[in-house]
Amino acid sequence: MEQQSPNERRLEDWMRTYGTAILRTCFVILSDAREAEDAMQDTFLRAWRAMDTFEQRNGASVKTWLMRIAINVCRDYQRKRWFRHIDMRHALEDLPQGMMTVLPEDRELMLDILRLPDDLKKPLILYYYQDMNLQETADALGISKSTVHTRLKKAEQALKLSLTGGDCYV
């Protein structure tokens, strides 16, 4: 039996620790369970290839670095994707069991989040659902802290409007 290299052990640890969070983030961005699983795998493949460059970064957390890779992978998927309509009601049911539990009372909120434009959806997911602070969210998205704050406020306003009977789109 071959012994694993330190990088292989580190990657496996990252997959165990951050795999579910990355899968959830990819799903919310892509609204497609199968594509989200592929994007998660591609995220870890890119992380594996760039692992040595991560070691040279100062101050960036592994989670922030992996989330940034995941967001870029999802962006690539969205660019390659042919136009297709995704029925958000079915997107939630397509998720693997236990991957993202949505309580019945939270279902409408999650559907509204999925309908948000990407520039509002991404900071919302990282900040509220992945428990990243403003700076980590900004680093993961490659934008300033003040831009994250502004987008969070816009997303919150859009969701509040939608939940009170208005249109979710901003």
**Which range of residues forms the domain containing residue 158?**
6-163
On whether residue 168 sits in a domain, the answer given is no
In angstroms, rounded to a whole number, what is the distance separating the alpha carbons of residues 58 and 30?
Answer: 30
Task: Give the DSSP H/E element, type plus range, for residue 43.
Answer: helix 33-49
On whether residue 76 sits in a domain, the answer given is yes
Query: Measured at the alpha carbon of residue 120, what is the angle toward residues 118 and 121, in degrees to the nearest 5?
Result: 60
pLDDT, the chain, mean: 83
On whether residue 170 sits in a domain, the answer given is no
* Domains contained in the chain, number: 1
On whether residue 1 sits in a domain, the answer given is no
On whether residue 88 sits in a domain, the answer given is yes
On whether residue 118 sits in a domain, the answer given is yes
In terms of phi and psi (left: phi > 0; alpha: psi -120 to 50; beta: otherwise), the region of 133 is: beta
Residue count of the chain: 170
Flag the least confident range among 3-7, 51-55, 87-91.
87-91
pLDDT band at 3 (very low <50, low <70, confident <90, very high): confident
| pLDDT > 70 fraction of the chain, expressed in percent and rounded | 78
Mean pLDDT of 128-133: 90
pLDDT band at 66 (very low <50, low <70, confident <90, very high): very high
CATH, residue 150:
1.20.140.160
On whether residue 169 sits in a domain, the answer given is no
3-state helix, strand, coil in the chain (%, to 5): 75, 0, 25
* Interval 137-164: pLDDT, tens: 999 999 999 999 999 999 999 998 888 8
